[in-house]
Amino acid sequence: MWHFKYSEDYYPLVADLDADDAVQSMRALPQHAPGVSCYHHSVLVSYLSYRICRRFGLDARAAARGGLLHDLYLYNWLDKSTHPNCNHAFEHPLIALKHAKARFPITEKEADIIATHMFPLPLTRPYGCLESFVVSTADKLCAVAELLRLVPHLTGPEETATPCLSTPSVVK
């Protein structure tokens, strides 16, 4: 994975999620820009949300976990045949929440983070906590960074030999 400054504090919060096959399967799903998978996007959102929440005394654990699971919809959103009768922009948060609840014990705050991360799409699903606002904002910032090809500048080079977050490199 990338060189995250606070990997030693962050990783234990999401290690059980990262070890799950469904979370790892997100590596094969495209995200906002070529070369960035749904998994990598979710890790970036998770870590950024963790850092912001930690800095402001919010629930950094819920932000890290909800951030990692926010896009656990498990289909190629660019291929409409993989999700017929589904308006991805509006419905994928609830699909991700359903998958997350089926695989993990999800707290109420984590559920809110996952379900509301696309606000204001839809307007009927507003944030229920500040952590949801943080993750949603981080999601949008990371998407823009991906589209502008800024991810390598923000994260440092990816270590291709590292199969997952379970062996983080720490930059002091």
> Which residue, 144, 167, 166, is CA-closest to 154?
144
With a CB cutoff of 8 Å and minimum separation 6, the contacts of 13 are 50, 60, 61, 64, 65
Give the pLDDT confidence score for residue 169 in this predicted structure: 34
- Structure tokens belonging to residue 26: 């997100």
Do 27 and 37 form a contact (C-beta atoms < 8 A)?
yes
pLDDT value of position 121: 81
Q: Would you call 82 exposed, middle or buried from its count of C-beta atoms within 10 A (0-12, 13-18, 19+)?
A: middle
pLDDT at position 152: 63
Report the distance separating Cα 90 and Cα 108, nearest Å: 20
Can you give the pLDDT of all 172 residues of the chain as single tens digits? 456 777 889 999 999 999 999 999 999 887 877 778 899 999 999 999 999 999 999 999 999 999 999 999 887 776 778 778 877 778 899 999 999 999 999 999 999 999 999 998 888 889 999 999 999 999 999 999 888 888 765 565 554 433 345 433 333 2
**CA dist list (Å): 20 to 41, 46, 156:** 17, 16, 25
